[in-house]
Structure 1
Amino acid sequence: MKKLVSVFIIIGIIIGLAFLLDIQFTKTVDWEESFDEKSNKPYGISIFYKELSNIFKDQKIRTVYHTPYSYLYANSEDGYGEHVAKGNYIIIGNSTYLDYDSVNELLHFADLGNTVFISDYYLPETLTDTLKLNIDYILNERDSVSKLSFKSQKLKQNHTVIDRNEGDFYFSNFNRKNYHILGYTKTNSKRVNFLGVPFGTGNIYLHLQPKIFTNYNLLKDKRYQYVEGILSYLPNDAIYFDSYTKTYTAYDGDVEPNSDLGWFLNQTSFSWAWYTALILILLFIIFNAKRRQRIIKTIKPLQNTTVLFVKTISNLYFETQDHKNLIEKKITYFLEHVRTDLKLDTSDLNEEFMNKLTAKSGKKKEEITQLINYIKWLKSKNEFAELNLITLNKHIEAFYSK
């Protein structure tokens, strides 16, 4: 009875502490712009990433954890990858890691008739220099809201706004003759923030507002329609989604840890219920640790009858004088050993095979030649004597001996 009272007192203390802590501490929202496809935080892009399979139906969605230079070069016609990369290469945020080699590989990818899509505030200098682009920034002087729109009248219904936006990046200088203006951002005035750049036989699409792809904006009002309008410019083809920066920065602890319980433990009520349950289980174990157990009977281990089994089988073969069966089994087991342990093909016991077996086994060439030739001779016969079995066994035992 005393134990039960103690347990109830401890439970009451835990519940009281949980209630007090829940009142005193409020959960803060992490507004860091990680653009991580695994993150459920406001400025992660897990929703966008999950919806790609619904937008690009029946297309393969690949997540790329390497630089474009490493991945696209490996998966090219001259590379050593599993396939030839073709389709859409998408980069959302954190694109400034792209070095000279990766930018050139992306340009080559587009030149072959594919599509590159990058949405970021800043673009790699190598890319802007190659495409002769200038990007500037204008401060949002009135409020934190910007209007995002398309040039195409067909996408007029996809226009939207974005809040929590201190200013806008825009293309201040570009080739207006050959490049296609696809969209604008507007605070104090309308400026170009979405370009289509024909490159070789493919296209490069550059967008300067990656925040619109985040969880916060996709779940607010109908802003997802603007994202659908952007993706409508991409062909319905395979997707290569860049995740190199998320893997790279994970060692610095910048990426939300991938845990099945992560989201639930972030919910205050659930986390306290979870920890309370663990504490109660621990208390139950402590209070019941001294409980008596019945005597456990000693069970004798089973005897090893392997030797008896082998003797029985050998006597059976000896009495029946079935030399052919024994010879075939010994040859089969020996060749299986060669295939499994020495990794050699035993389909053709020719001179080349004997040379490889000699090199891998470390035996003399004469011993290997005698053994293999004898096996080939036995395979050509239909009737066998006891002497044939004894001779084969001697050759095989000599091979196994050190």
Structure 2
Amino acid sequence: MKKILPILLVLIALIITAAVVIGVKRTKTVDWEESFNEKSNKPYGVSVLYKELPNLFEGYKVRTVYHQPASYLKANSEDGYGEHVAEGNFIIIGNTDYLEDESIDELLHFVDSGNTLFISDYYFPQKIHDTLDVSVDYIENEKDSISYLSLKNKNVQEITLDKNKFDQYFSEYNSINHTVLGHSKIDYKHINFLQVPFGKGKVLLHLEPKAFTNYNLLMEERYKYVEGVLSYLPDANVYFDSYTKIQTGYDGDVEKESNLAWFLEQLSFRWAWYTAIVFGILFMIFNAKRRQRVIKIIKPLQNTTVAFVKTVSNLYFDTKDHKNLIDKKITYFLEKIRHDLHLNTDNLDEEFTEKLAAKTGKKKEDVKKLINYINLMKSKNEFFEENLIKLNRQIEAFYSK
């Protein structure tokens, strides 16, 4: 023991020294990737805008869309199986190249019904260019990488965007039907913000998505420009696109760091922490002697199945992990159907609904309502407590009748 102790102390000292040196030499790097992710606190994420949307559209619902617009808007149409009819403003910021033709058609149908589509990107899918009769070009900011943005009909002071190598602008548009709302490089009259009428609604096309990012919203008074841009949207519910951000790999933990990181940056706390670690290790070394362990009384195993189920379910409910509870309820329900009624549950379609109604003697309308809601739950990524309660009531009603 006496021979090992000096070696251990030297190793501890070396580890602490290395940790301090690494901490001092470590330099922070800033990630300037243009993610436009609503959960990212990086410079070019849009978490600040996302958190302010409920204030900008006070009194209206703000929903985040994690699906292709085609599937989401069809599900939430008048004849769909969604929980509401989608009406209001659909907002897409950056990364619009993911939009499929079917989604573009559904978005334009959404607008044609009297709603508003707002897109801010450097360019748009070709189908949007062709359908709305617009073309986009750009010029390079060779001298200072600074862009000047202004709005035409709003009392908003011209703002600057730094770190901007290019200015996009509409090189062609329908000057009779389209309304010019804003410019970049106003001296050269480069149009970067258009309002395009479509059916009963309108499409707002904007060519500078970086204006909506965290970096620019927190710089000077640039947020006033964003407020002015969004003021062209009517006061209505908001559907904020997030599908493309999931596809590019942002899973919501984009900014997660150690909770201890900030404290270790404070010199006094860092040395107190290392000192505590050293004394803790020394305490363990000097107390590592043979001692008679307390003989524990082993109690016979109890049947705690019910208590276990209650504990696990309460855990999921308290942590608001509604997805897990919904998945488990659906799995248990389908397993019981397979076991009791010997039905194949791979395809929950019309044929399965008819067989289930026939075997259980229940009304086909009630069975169809339950199966449609299960299919909806299996297709969703975002769940709320109301979804869990509604599913539970429908399953209980199925068993009770």
Q: Same fold (TM over 0.5)?
A: yes
In 1, Cα distance between equivalents of 2:201 and 2:276: 57
* Residue number in structure 2 paired with 1:182: 181
Q: Does 1:192 align with 2:187?
A: no
Shift of 1:202: 1.0
8 Å Cα contact 2:149-2:186 kept in structure 1: no
In 2, distance between residues paired with 1:142 and 1:85?
Answer: 46
Give me the whole-angstrom Cα distance separating, in 2, the residues matched to 1:258 and 1:144. Answer: 31
Pairwise CA distance, 1:281: 10
Measure the CA separation in 2 of the matches of 1:241 and 1:358: 44
Q: Which residue number in structure 2 is paired with residue 168 of structure 1?
A: 167
How do 1:156-305 and structure 2 match up within 5 A?
156-157=156-157, 159-186=158-185, 189-250=188-249, 255=250, 258=253, 261-262=256-257, 264=259, 269-270=264-265, 283=281, 287=285, 292=291, 294-301=293-300
Say which SS state the counterpart of residue 33 (structure 2) adopts.
coil
Measure how far apart 1:5 and its partner are.
7.3
Equivalent residue for 1:117?
118
Q: Which of structures 1 and 2 has the bigger CA Rg?
A: 1
1:350-389 alignment runs, 5 A limit: 356=359
Residue 18 of structure 1 corresponds to 19
What residue in structure 2 maps to residue 370 of structure 1?
Answer: none
Q: Output the amino acid matched with 1:43.
A: Y
Q: 1:136–1:261: structure 2 CA closer, same or farther, 3 Å change rule?
A: closer
Verify the 8 A CA contact 1:31 1:41 in the aligned structure 2: yes
Q: Output the amino acid matched with 1:86.
A: E
- How big is each residue's C-alpha offset from its partner over 1:183-224, in whole Å with a ceiling of 9 and x where there is no partner? 000076231000011111111100000001111111111111
Query: How many aligned positions are there?
Result: 309
Given that 2:43 and 2:214 are in contact with CA atoms closer than 8 Å, whether structure 1 keeps it comes out as: yes
CA distance in structure 2 between the aligned counterparts of 1:260 and 1:207, rounded to whole angstroms: 28
> What's the offset of the Cα at 1:180?
0.8
Contact preservation (8 Å) 1:140, 1:187: no
C-alpha change, 1:303 and 1:286, in structure 2 (3 Å) is: closer
> How far apart are the structure 2 equivalents of 1:184 and 1:249?
30
Does the CA-based 8 Å contact 1:110-1:116 persist in structure 2?
yes
Checking the alignment, whether the CA contact within 8 Å between 2:63 and 2:239 is kept in structure 1 is yes
State the TM-score, normalized to the length of structure 2: 0.67
The alignment's C-alpha RMSD in Å is: 3.7
Contact 1:30 1:42 (C-alpha < 8 Å) held by counterparts: yes
1:49 correspondence with 2:44: no
C-alpha distance in 2, partners of 1:239/1:281?
A: 56
Counterpart code for 1:258: D
Q: Is the 8 A contact 1:141 1:188 kept in 2?
A: no
Post-superposition offset of 1:60: 1.3
- SS of aligned partner of 2:195: strand
Q: Aligned-pair distance for 1:236?
A: 1.7
Q: Is the 8 A contact 1:116 1:205 kept in 2?
A: yes
Q: Quick one: distance in 2 between partners of 1:271 and 1:100? A: 53
What is the distance in 2 between the residues matched to 1:19 and 1:52? 43
Q: Determine the structure 2 residue equivalent to 1:142.
A: 143
Contact 1:39–1:46 (CA under 8 A) maintained in structure 2: yes
Cα distance, 1:356–1:114 mapped onto 2, change above 3 Å: same
- Structure 2 vs 1, CA of residues 20 and 118 (structure 1 numbering), >3 Å: closer, same or farther? same
Shift in Å at residue 14 of structure 1? 3.4
Partner of 1:368: none
Task: Specify whether residues 300 and 261 from structure 1 end up closer, same or farther in structure 2 by C-alpha distance, changes over 3 A only.
Answer: same
CA deviation after TM superposition for structure 1 residue 12, in Å: 3.7
CA distance change for structure 1 residues 168 and 277 in 2, over 3 Å: closer, same or farther?
farther
Give 1:330-369 correspondences, 5 Å limit. Answer: 356=359
| Structure 1 residue 245, shift from structure 2 partner | 0.9
Residue by residue, what CA displacement relative to the aligned partner does 1:351-396 show, whole Å, maximum 9, x if unpaired?
xx9x84699xxxxxxxxxxxxxxxxxxxxxxxxxxxxxxxxxxxxx
Name 2:87's counterpart in structure 1.
86
Please state how far the C-alpha of 1:155 moved relative to its aligned partner. Answer: 2.2
Q: Deviations over 1:239-289 (max 9, x none)?
A: 111011111121xxxx37617842757769459969969977995896466
5+ long unaligned stretches in structure 2 = 304-335, 342-355, 363-401
- Distance in 1 (alpha carbons) for counterparts of 2:284 and 2:254: 29
Identity %, equivalent residues: 54
Conservation of the 8 A alpha-carbon contact between 2:42 and 2:255: no
Residue ranges of structure 1 left out of the alignment (5+ in a row): 305-337, 344-352, 360-402
Cα pair 1:86 1:238 within 8 Å, conserved = yes
- How far does residue 303 in structure 1 lie from its aligned partner after superposition? 9.1
Separation in 2 of the partners of 1:160 and 1:260? 29
Aligned partners of 1:181 and 1:206: how far apart in 2?
A: 10
1:66 and 1:271 map into 2 onto residues whose CA distance is 43
User: SS of the counterpart of 1:156?
Assistant: coil
Q: Structure 1 residues 299 and 56 mapped into 2: Cα distance closer, same or farther (>3 Å)? A: same
Asked if structure 2 preserves the Cα contact closer than 8 Å seen for 1:38 and 1:45, the reply is yes
Contact 2:120–2:207 (Cα < 8 Å) also in 1: yes
Equivalent residue of 1:127, what SS? Answer: helix
Q: Is the 8 A contact 1:265 1:271 kept in 2?
A: no
TM-score normalised per structure 1: 0.67
